[in-house]
Chains A and B, each alone.
Chain A
Amino acid sequence: MPQLGETVTEGTVAQWLKRPGDAIEKYEAFVEVSTDKVNAEVPSPVAGIMRELIVKEGETVPTGAPIAVIDEAGSLAEPLPVPVAEPAAPAPAPAFAVADLVPVAVSGNGHASHNGTRVSPAVRRLAREHAIDLAVVRGTGANGRVTASDVIAAAGAPRTAAAPVHAAPMHAAPEPAPAPAVPNAPATLPELIPLTPARRLIAQRMVESKHTAPHAWTMVEVDVTNLWKWRTAAKDAFERETGTKLTLLPFFMHAVAESLRAYPLMNASFREDGIAVHRQIHLGIATAAGGNLVVPVVRDADRLSIRGLALAAGAIIDRARAGKLGVDDLTGGTFTVNNNGANGSVLSAPISCRSRRRAG
């Protein structure tokens, strides 16, 4: 569709002057187009045979949209591979010049696709930020180019969608919400990382826990020099013999288990009908696995030796990292241990999950 006036952005095919199969001479009028400003007969840029009429009489399309296919004389029966009115490479100026009177179509796509037109950096960025498919955006720029304003307008169109992600209450949604519809979006928006179900659940649990369970912490300094020396001396042999690393974790688990035996009230849960003092000691180990936090459980920790704790903890942590934990592995914990010192911290105040007491 040629641009027949300076402010004209679309045109209507008033009447086809040539039908498929008709011969056309160069510069012979082949269609009559009407716009807001003018009715005009459009001359053919080539001599050849009319192959296909893409736009019906009475139909309105944007300037630059393909309207017909003409087989140029001398070519094989193939459509003209004419790109949709590309101006010369260095100049960005759109085609007011005579050269691109009729951008004839290439593909069979009748709609104003963005084949052959370029996508500016702003359009590309805005489309990504608003999750807009450019193929369905109507371009109002020169020769049907999709402009940044077009993308923003498309983003502002009503959508069926969940609430914007950043304001979502902590429902466990079945799948991540699509990008929010933000009318009149500013030019710079944050990058949006969709939530996995696991992340959403962890967040929900953490918020619930913080809101429902009082959190308190205290710190005790313990000189573990001798423990460290003992472990250092023993770890290589241990690893050779069992195939498992000997960390400080089993020692602390053992200390915790012994302490829970001595102070059963620390191995308890606050319930509406009373304080449930658990008879067994099942220790959960806070573990980072696959970007998520999981808490696999070592059962009857007080019945295991250091060696036994090391092997049990090692095995279950491996399974966690491999994503192979079963439901039994994740339930029944009465107390949780957490070693953030592996990340280099000196002190941390964790958030308990499901109102279990924690060790730091």
Chain B
Amino acid sequence: MNAISTAITNVEAVRATLHDAMAADDRVLIIGEDVGARGNVFLITKGFLEEFGAQRVIDAPLAEASIVGVAVGMAMQGLRPIAEIQFADFIYPAFSQIVGEAAKTRYRSNGDYTCPLVIRTPYGGGVRGALSHSVSIEALFYHVPGLTILAPSTPRDIKGLLTTAIESDDPVLFLEHKKTYRSVRGEVPAGHFTIPIGKADIKKPGTQLTVVSYGYNVHQALDAAQQLEDENISVEVIDLRSIRPMDKTAILTSVRKTRKLLIIHEDNKFGGIGAEISAMVSEEALFDLDAPIRRLCGPDVPAMGYALPLEEAFMISTERMQHAMRDLARF
């Protein structure tokens, strides 16, 4: 494990952060499918079983409700479990444990118990993953008070936020866009550092319109915005990083400056994160808006198809983002 700062990929950042956390605190453990002997399907935990032992790297059966349920119990008893859901598409059986138990533990016990649980899972499409390996799940959970939902998309943000999540006393759903695992690379500071939950990051400042996004879409939005600079269109790109709690202040400050808002998310449009952001901005900054709020989102279809044309129709291309930004700037 290289402790000096170098450019690493997103998946390497996850691995490094988990390793550092396991090494620093005996209470931290990992439970999930194929995390032990197999070392995780993306090799994130390769070697962990040998290094930390079977008590702390636990291979679970195909039973997501149990993975999370057991982890909730561990967390309430003082351990710091990191439960892995192998693909976000498998998370549905664990819904009751996440929403009904983990999210409510502190409130229900009046603070007598907390639930310092991290549930991490790869999500998102664009890898020919089809129906069972492409879904976005944030909209299902961000509605729930008591849960923290994080979706960083750069190595630095992953390390800082995953560290904070592991050290948090409350449950965190940590979403990793699988298409960024090996395609996004960046510098990461060596040593321990944290990034506060609930803070967005302006990945590119601009003046004519605000783009709010997260996950893989952030990188596409940055590409599109960079190309539009050549057309003298200045786009500000905000990476949410934290979906719940959401950085209202950053969004409103930006919208008040640019007066135009484009929300981009791969997830289905209806009831997605964009809906909440739109409502919030309309409520609090209506008289700063010079154009209707625009959402560029995934179609409202049940899944991302396996056929390449279907996948490409679902995923938002960089070109479509450019068009949307240009249209809005010109409005």
The reply to whether the CB of B286 lies closer than 8 angstroms to some CB of chain A is: yes
Residues on B with beta carbons closer than 8 Å to the beta carbon of A6: 231, 326
**Most chain-A Cβ atoms within 10 A of its Cβ — which of B286, B292, B328, B331?**
B331
* Chain A residues, Cβ within 8 Å of B286: 121
Give Cα A334–Cα B292 distance, bound, in whole angstroms. Answer: 64
Q: Mark B222-237, 1 if CB is under 8 A from A, else 0.
A: 0000000001000000
Contact check, A7 vs B256: say whether CB atoms are below 8 A apart: no
Write out the residue numbers on chain A whose beta carbons fall within 8 Å of the beta carbon of B294: 92
Give Cα A4 to B289, complex, Å.
Answer: 27
Q: Does A125 contact B (CB under 8 A)?
A: yes
Verify if B20 is at the interface (C-beta below 8 Å from A): no
Determine which residue in B257, B287, B330 has the highest number of CB atoms from chain A within 10 A of its CB, and name it.
B330
Known: A6-B326, A148-B290, A187-B288. A142 touches B331 (CB 8 A): yes
The yes or no answer to B56 lying at the interface (CB within 8 A) is: no
Residue numbers in B under 8 Å from A187 (CB-CB): 256-257, 259, 288
Pair B259/A93 contact, Cβ less than 8 Å: no
Q: Smallest Cβ distance from A89 to chain B, in angstroms?
A: 10
- Residues of B contacting A120 in the complex (Cβ-Cβ under 8 angstroms): 289-291
Contact indicator B290/A122 (Cβ below 8 Å): yes
- Chain B residue at smallest Cβ distance from A147: B290
Q: In angstroms, how far is the closest chain B Cβ from the Cβ of A151? A: 9
| Shortest Cβ distance from A63 into B: residue | B330
- Once A7-B231, A121-B286, A122-B259 are accepted as A-B contacts, the answer to whether A92 and B330 lie under 8 Å apart by CB is no
Cα separation A147 to B260 with both chains bound (whole Å): 11
Q: Which of B305-331 contact A (CB under 8 A)?
A: 324, 326-328, 330-331
A14, B274: Cα distance in complex, Å: 45
- Contact A94 B330, beta carbon cutoff 8 Å: yes
Given contacts A92-B292, A92-B294, A148-B259, contact A121 B287 (CB under 8 A): yes
Q: Which residues of B contact A51 (CB under 8 A)?
A: none
Consensus secondary structure, chain A interface: loop
Number of A-B contacts (CB under 8 A): 49
Would you give the 0/1 interface string for B55-85, flagging 1 where the beta carbon is closer than 8 Å to chain A?
Answer: 0000000000000000000000000000000
Contacts of A94 in B (CB 8 A): 327, 330-331
CB-defined contacts of A121 to chain B, threshold 8 Å = 286-290
- A96 neighbours in B (Cβ, 8 Å): 327
Interface size on B, residues (CB 8 A): 18
Which residues of chain A have C-beta atoms less than 8 A from B287's C-beta? Answer: 121-122, 124-125
Asked if A145 lies at the interface with its beta carbon under 8 angstroms from chain B, I say yes
Q: Is A141 part of the contact surface with B, judged by Cβ < 8 Å?
A: yes
Q: A92: which of B256, B288, B326, B328 is its contact (CB, 8 Å)?
A: B328
Q: Report the minimal beta-carbon distance from B170 to chain A, rounded to whole angstroms.
A: 36
Say how far B290's CB is from chain A's closest CB, in angstroms: 4
* Residues on B with beta carbons closer than 8 Å to the beta carbon of A7: 231
Q: Report A-chain residues with C-beta under 8 Å of the C-beta of B324.
A: 93
Chain B proximity mask over A95-121: 1 for CB below 8 Å, otherwise 0: 010000000000000000000000011
Asked if B327 contacts A123 (CB within 8 A), the reply is: no
Query: In the complex, what residue of chain A is closest to B324 when comparing beta carbons?
Result: A93
Q: How far is the CA of A125 from the CA of B287 in the complex (A)?
A: 6
Instruction: Tell me the bound Cα distance from A228 to B206 in angstroms.
Output: 70
Interface string of A123-137 (1 = CB under 8 A from B): 111000000000000
Q: Determine if A122 and B289 form an interchain contact, defined as CB atoms under 8 angstroms apart.
A: yes
Return chain A residues, CB-CB under 8 Å to B331. Answer: 92-94, 141-142, 145, 147
- Residues of chain A with a CB closer than 8 A to B289's CB: 120-122
B327 and A93 form a contact (CB under 8 A): yes
How many Å lie between the Cα of A181 and that of B315 in the bound state?
A: 48
Residues of A within 8 A of B330 (CB): 94, 141-142
**Which residue of chain A has the shortest Cβ distance to B233 in the bound complex?**
A7
- A120: min CB distance to chain B, Å: 5
Bound Cα distance from A94 to B256, whole angstroms:
22
Cβ-defined contact, A122 with B288, below 8 A: yes
25 residue pairs of the A-B complex, CB under 8 angstroms, read A92-B292, A92-B294, A92-B327, A93-B324, A93-B327, A93-B328, A93-B331, A96-B327, A120-B289, A120-B290, A120-B291, A121-B288, A121-B289, A121-B290, A122-B259, A122-B289, A124-B287, A125-B288, A141-B330, A142-B327, A145-B331, A147-B331, A148-B259, A148-B290, A188-B256
The 6 A-B pairs of least Cβ separation, nearest first, read A92-B292, A148-B290, A122-B290, A93-B327, A125-B287, A120-B290
4 additional contacts (CB under 8 A) given A121-B289, A122-B288: A6-B326, A92-B294, A120-B289, A122-B289
